[in-house]
Structure 1
Amino acid sequence: MMTPENLEPAGTLLVAKETCAGAVLGTTLFLHPDSALKQLAQDGEREFRLLAVATEARGKGVGELLVQACIDRAKNEGATGLVLWTQPTMYAAQRLYERLGFQRCSERDVPDPRGWDRMVFRRSLR
C-alpha cells in the first residue's frame, strides 16, 4: 500500500486540502531526479505521477492546481521539461494536460506488464 511515508523517498507528495475542514481534495507525487519510481524523465526532465482528485472535487480546479505546482517546481529546479503518463480512458486528465501545455509523445509510450496502456505527455519548460 502506498502511504506518504513510503512515497517520501521517491518524491514530494503534493496535497490539496479543503481550507475549512482540511479534507484531502487531491494529491500527486513529484519525483526526485534519482527516484526509483522514475520511468520517463530523461536528462534535464522531471516527472510526476499518481495525480488523483476526489470525486467531489473534480471540475473545481484541484487537478490544475496540483499540475501547476509540479510545473512550477520543475521550472524552479531548472528542468528542461516535465513528463507524465496516463491511461487512454483518462479523458479529463488528458484535456487538463493539453490545456496546461503538455503534448502527446507517443514515441515514448511505455508498455505495462499488466496490460495497461501508458500514454506519455511532455511539457517543454524552455
Structure 2
Amino acid sequence: MELRLASAEEHDRVGELTVRAYEAFTLGPADPYVARLRDAASRAEGAELWVAVEGGRLLGSVTYCPPGSPWREIGRDDEGEFRMLAVDPAARGAGAGTALAALCEERAREQGAVGMALSTLAEMTDAHRIYVRLGYSRDPGRDWSPLPGVDLLAFSKAF
C-alpha cells in the first residue's frame, strides 16, 4: 500500500470515495455536509489531502490539518488534527484507515506537535476502534456540536 498526497487529477475520485464512506452517516444527497465531503480540492488547498492506493486502486483518504489550516476544528496550537478519514467500503479491513491515521501522526510529529486531536460521530464505531488501537482516548471536554442534532465526540492522544 502506498501513502502519498493526492494529485489534482484524483480530487474528484477522492471526493466520491469520501461521500461513499460517509453515506451511512449523512442525511442523504441533500445533506449540506455531502458537498463538503465531495470537495476534495478545497481540502487539498487548505490542508494536506493524503491517499492510500494499491495497484492503482484508491483505498482511502484523510485530510491532515496542520496548525493554521482553515480545516481545523478542535486541535490546539501544539497538536495535529485530522478529519474525514475515509476508506472505500469495499476496502475496509485492509489497514488503509489505520495507515492513514498513523501517517497523520507522523506528519504532526515532524511539525513538532505534542499530540493529535479529532472529532467523530458516535455512530462511527469502526473508526473508534482504529483510534483506540492507536492509543487515542475519549476527550469529552472537547465534544461539540457544529449544528443542532449533530453531536461530535472528541478523541485525543499525547505523543
Counterparts in 2 of 1:110 and 1:75: CA distance versus 1, 3 Å: same
Counterparts in 2 of 1:4 and 1:113: CA distance versus 1, 3 Å: closer
Off by >4 Å, runs of 4+ in structure 1: none
Matched, 1:116 2:150: yes
The percent identity for this pair of structures is 36
Contact 2:43 2:71 in 1 (8 A): no
Q: Which residue of 2 aligns with 1:13?
A: 49
TM-score by length of 1: 0.92
In 1: Cα distance, 2:39 partner to 2:51 partner: 13
In 1: Cα distance, 2:105 partner to 2:45 partner: 20
One-letter identity of the residue aligned with 2:106: D
> Partner of 1:112: helix, strand, or coil?
strand
Contact 1:10 1:32 in 2 (8 A): no
Aligned pairs for 1:43-122 (under 5 A) are 43-122=77-156
TM-score by length of 2: 0.73
One-letter identity of the residue aligned with 2:129: R
Q: Which residue of 1 aligns with 2:75?
A: 41
Ranges in structure 1 where 5+ consecutive residues have no aligned partner: none
Ranges in structure 2 where 5+ consecutive residues have no aligned partner: 1-34
Contact 2:51 2:61 in 1 (8 A): yes
